[in-house]
Amino acid sequence: MVKNLLGAAPARLAGKIVTPGDERYPRLRSTYTTVGRPAAVVLPESADDIAAALRTARDTGLRVAVRSGGHGLAGTGTNDEGLVIDLSALHRVDVLDRGARLVRVEAGARWAGVARALAPHGLAVSSGDHGNVGVGGIATGGGVGWLVRRYGLTIDRIRAVDVVLADGTLVRADAETDPDLLWVMRGAGAGAGIAVAFEIEAMELGAVGYAQLVAAVDPAGETLRRWADVSTGAPRELSTSVVLASQGATATAYITAVVASDDQRTVQQALEPLLEIGEVAVQRAGMVRYTDLVPTAHLHANAAQMPSSTTNGLLTGLSRDAARALVRATTAADPVLVQLRSLGGATHDPDPAATAFAHRHQNVLAVASAFPPYDRDRLAVGWAHLAPHVDGAYVNFESSPDRATFRQAYPGPTGDRVRDLWKRYDPEGVLHPRAGS
């Protein structure tokens, strides 16, 4: 197979194809969650290289996987005996128009590099919460980051995308040129094409407020309900993340709060209500650079170091039953790890029909994970407590996508349009399994 692959590859891919005998292969075969055994990994340096890789896959009959950073929880950035198109060599970050805060970011960049490149210009893009996460996955799926309530989702500020379609055609998608492709690339892009680069409207940002808090969680989950109420009513500058961990029958909430402002009074006023949600201890508080939240120290090779099963759901708020379900899942005999993210604010601004991410009224994202060896069974049991309370889901935090999770992520007419556009732009299903069909 490898010999046939190398024989079918065009000259422009010489030196850019990594096979199992290559010393680079162990660093490129896997994602963050999944061990892969691909026949080859291609490292394109241009859109033409991506098109050549797609032609090679078609000529050899190899299944295609596309990878930006490799943190995708479903592990679709690798495969077995197929061809992986790894975009890591496409990592340029350019400021196109400082006055309009318009930047161009290639899909293989990682958010640590993006933050570092934009910081000297006083700009930032809300990204994932780890510097090693790749741009392409977030910027085609949604983008819930440390600045989400002030900035919105990453996709909300994307103004244009350069896309290589499954047939190798390079297309620019913006509001005037192929608006349908722009629509689907912002929220469901993995099934439509391979993003090469994004034009994104950044935000002005200097230092930010940052705090780490610890709160005891009562069995009824009232602490969590008060956190949700504070988050919903908070100024947009405040975005929070909560990790729930159990110590036997009791749960503890580890809260990270980011205030997108360099004004210390604004930061203090945004953080103070969090101190009133229960028994709260402050571990750390102060002003930091945004680059400190997604530092270059995060950058690493992916070697399936975090195998897990993960699912998620969006909630309008935390009802009493939902809060109890979260505590129950966290403190069960076989607990799951639960993370909560505050939404609202700028995420509610767009029309639900403006992008393929249609969830514009929910205020909380709940993510549950379990780890081997019994991760799938444990997750199923733990998630069953919360599932009746969710109202939608986020595609990027699902490790086992299927028809049911597709309907949660892309409900009703949104799902119909996503399916139609996937079939239009990739009629043979080269780039994405047809979970929604």
- The CATH architecture annotation of domain 208-401 reads 3-Layer(aba) Sandwich (3.40)
Residue 10 has pLDDT above 90, yes or no: no
Yes or no: say if 342 and 240 are a contact pair by the CB < 8 Å rule: yes
pLDDT at res. 4:
66
Q: Please determine whether the domains at 93-204+413-425 and 208-401 fall in the same fold group of CATH.
A: no
Query: What's the fold here for domain 93-204+413-425?
Result: 3.30.465
Residue 315: count of CB within 10 angstroms of its CB: 22
Which residues have a Cβ under 8 Å from the Cβ of 245 and sit 6 or more positions away?
251, 252, 254, 330, 337
Tell me what the mean pLDDT of segment 348-365 comes to. Answer: 98
pLDDT band at 94 (very low <50, low <70, confident <90, very high): very high
Residue 249 has pLDDT above 90, yes or no: no
The average confidence (pLDDT) of the chain is 96
412-425 vs 179-188: helix axis angle to the nearest 10?
110
pLDDT at res. 3:
62
Residue 427 has pLDDT above 70, yes or no: yes
User: 51, 52, 28: which is closest to 41 by C-alpha?
Assistant: 28
CA-CA distances (angstroms) from residue 190 to 43, 274, 281, 409? Answer: 18, 37, 42, 13
4-8, 46-50, 122-126, 179-183: least confidently modelled range: 4-8
Q: Over the stretch 145-199, which tens digit does the pLDDT of each residue have?
A: 999 999 999 999 999 999 999 999 999 999 999 999 999 999 999 999 999 999 9
Considering the domain 2-86 in this protein, what is its CATH number?
A: 3.30.43.10
pLDDT at res. 433:
61
CA 157/CA 94 separation, integer angstroms: 16
**Domain map (residue ranges) of the chain:** 2-86, 93-204+413-425, 208-401
